[in-house]
Structure 1
Amino acid sequence: MQILPSPRLAPYIKSYTVITIEKALKDEVFYPSGYVDLIINISGGFAATIINGKQKDTPDIELLGHLTLPTRLTAAKGTSVLIARIYPYASTLFFSDPLSEFTNYATDMYDIAKSESRDLYDRIMQAENLSSKINILEIYFLQQLKKNESRLKKATTVQTLSQQLIMDHYQLNLPALAKSSGLSERYIQKLYLMNIGISPSAFAAVIRFNKSLHNVLNTSESLTAIAYECGYYDQAHFIKEFKKFTGIPPSATRLSLIKNDTDLQQALNIGF
């Protein structure tokens, strides 16, 4: 179930999604999405992520930072989570630490702001229905947005730069981007690391991958056609980059995800 945010938060939050695990999962793979996810365990069920070979049990509230490598999830049947998917440029408006500290990591929010996060979780769990839970979460986001409104200008700048990346066919030309924006290359690099958590080149690679993943899963286009459409140099470059994010070639991904499609994969695997 996917629910859109309120108009005030729509520029910053893509969606709220509730996932209930109908069948126990073991090492379910999901890929870099280009988003940051705030994940709330609303059932108390067991789940754990494995990132870069390190397993971490999912706490009450978890911030899943930007991923640049495939991740695995194990979850018990009946586990339900509420996921707030945050646009890549907007996470800095809701969390105080530099986003680079969350990259390729699932962070327990109690380690970041224990009292505030505990209070949020308790109020969400006491709410009687999903609508009330999301309303409490939205109030939290609005409070954070007001507290961090001084960061809005930089976040908007990163959003504009990222939109230019997409318009440029997912190809990063940092000197040209700096010239057109009136910003230095070094400052753009710093903006991305602080506000998104990864470099401009890494972000370009993630959104290019997500475009290709969408085409792999939803079209019958050849790999060569997908490669050129998504800004790769050729099919070999496409396959190499795709395997970096998935661990397997695009042809195998097309077969495996269509065969084993789940709500969880739809929620976590599809980014831009």
Structure 2
Amino acid sequence: MNYQEFKPQGVLKEFIQCYFICETETDVLTDDNVFASGSLEIMFNLGATRKEFSINGTLVAEPDIQLWGQVLKPMQIKSYGKHAMFGVRFYPHTAVCFFNENIQQFNDAVFNLEDVIGNKIKELHSKLLEADSIIKKITFTEAFLMERLLCFDKKLDKLDLVNSVTYELLLDNNKVNMNRIAASHGISSRYLQTIFLQYSGLTPNLFRKINRFQKSLHLLVNNNDSLTSIAHHCGYFDQSHFIKDFKEFTGSTPSGFHLESSTELIALLK
């Protein structure tokens, strides 16, 4: 499987983590696991046919244009067919700037994006199908995203605040104090919780928990450190807390985890 990421330029680099492609040359059977990443994604199927597709054992119609909300529980995806996907990965708190909907309603689900925002996204999909290079695909996508961003520009008023809070939540999981963060911005802790939930679909505590899990996942994939060492490095109180959180997000203990279960993790090693 060919997986590549491309960085956005200009204004959108503050909102988009990356664009990506995921392709295979032939029909393949994919048995993949998706774990909490803290980010929302849009994916376009640019293949000639739709693949057979199931989520957690339930066969569903695979949308040509998919909105993947925040994944909180481990999600098992099975599909058969030729992959030709182009995607957009947002930062945890920035997808809201492109939608009129409550971002939390997308959690733990895959939506047909055409049902959410209408024919405009279908028009973009048609352009992507005709584009003969990744540069053209990104150019068409960025024009569409800029138009959406201007439609919901009022949400930009609070984005600096949410940016700052997000940064502070990522600094050190052991020393984060929500009351202190709220006070430093002249707002109440309750308002901070509310605004962060509106922008990310997550509570600040859950966001920190996912970030800590992702950090431990990367260490587990890329290092031979002991579980105790990983737990300490990621700010867990002890190894048992690390194992508990890891199992909650993956359905497996760290010692029983199989790298091959996730396309995303395999891509990290390339």
TM-score normalised by length of structure 2: 0.90
CA displacement 1:205-248 (0-9 Å, x = unmatched): 11110011111111111111111111111000000000000000
Map of 2:20 onto structure 1? 17
**Pairs within 5 Å for 1:79-90:** 79-90=83-94
- 1:26: Cα distance to partner? 4.4
Cα distance per residue 1:146-181 (max 9 Å; x no partner): 222221132222121111011123665322222222
**Contact 1:38/1:83 (CA < 8 Å) preserved in 2?**
yes
In structure 2, distance between residues paired with 1:215 and 1:247: 18
TM-score of the pair, normalised by structure 1: 0.89
Match for residue 130 of structure 1? 134
Does the alignment pair 1:61 with 2:61?
A: no
Question: Once the 2 structures are TM-superposed, how far is the Cα of residue 34 of structure 1 from its aligned partner?
Answer: 1.1
Hey, what's the Cα distance between the residues in 2 that align with 1:130 and 1:171? 42
Distance in structure 2 (CA, Å) of the matches to 1:56 and 1:205: 30
Aligned partners of 2:225 and 2:118: how far apart in 1? 48
Whether the aligned pair in 2 keeps the contact of 1:18 and 1:82 (CA below 8 Å) is yes
Amino acid at match of 1:134: I
Matching residue within 82, 103, 106 for 1:102: 106
Say whether the 8 Å CA contact 1:89–1:156 is kept in structure 2: no
**1:76 CA displacement:** 2.0
Within 1, Cα distance between the matches of 2:153 and 2:122?
A: 23
Query: Which residue in the other structure is 2:5 paired with?
Result: 2
- Compared with structure 1, are the counterparts of its residues 218 and 20 closer, same or farther at alpha carbon in structure 2 (3 Å cutoff)? same
2:53 maps to which residue?
Answer: 48
Give the unaligned 5+ runs of structure 1. none
Q: Secondary structure at the residue paired with 1:8?
A: helix
Matched, 1:192 2:208: no
Shift of residue 25 of structure 1?
3.3
**263 and 69 in structure 1: CA distance in 2 versus 1, 3 angstrom threshold:** closer
Task: Name whichever of 124-133 and 207-216 sits farther off.
Answer: 124-133
Correspondence 1:139 to 2:161: no
- Structure number with greater CO (CA < 8 Å, separation at least 6) is 1
Cα 1:174–1:212 change in 2 (3 A) is same
How far residue 57 of structure 1 moved from its aligned partner, in angstroms, is 3.1
Paired AA for residue 18 in structure 1: I
Equivalences for 1:113-124 in 2 at 5 Å?
Answer: 113-124=117-128
Match of 1:10, SS? Answer: helix
| SS at 1:75 equivalent | strand
Stretches of structure 2 that go unaligned for 5 or more consecutive residues are none
Identity of aligned residues (%): 29
Q: For the aligned residues, what is the CA RMSD?
A: 2.2
- Are 2:80 and 1:76 equivalent residues in the alignment? yes
Provide the residue aligned with 2:224 in structure 1.
220
Distance (Å, rounded) in 2 between the aligned partners of 1:98 and 1:216: 34
Cα distance in 2, alignment partners of residues 233 and 46 from structure 1? 43
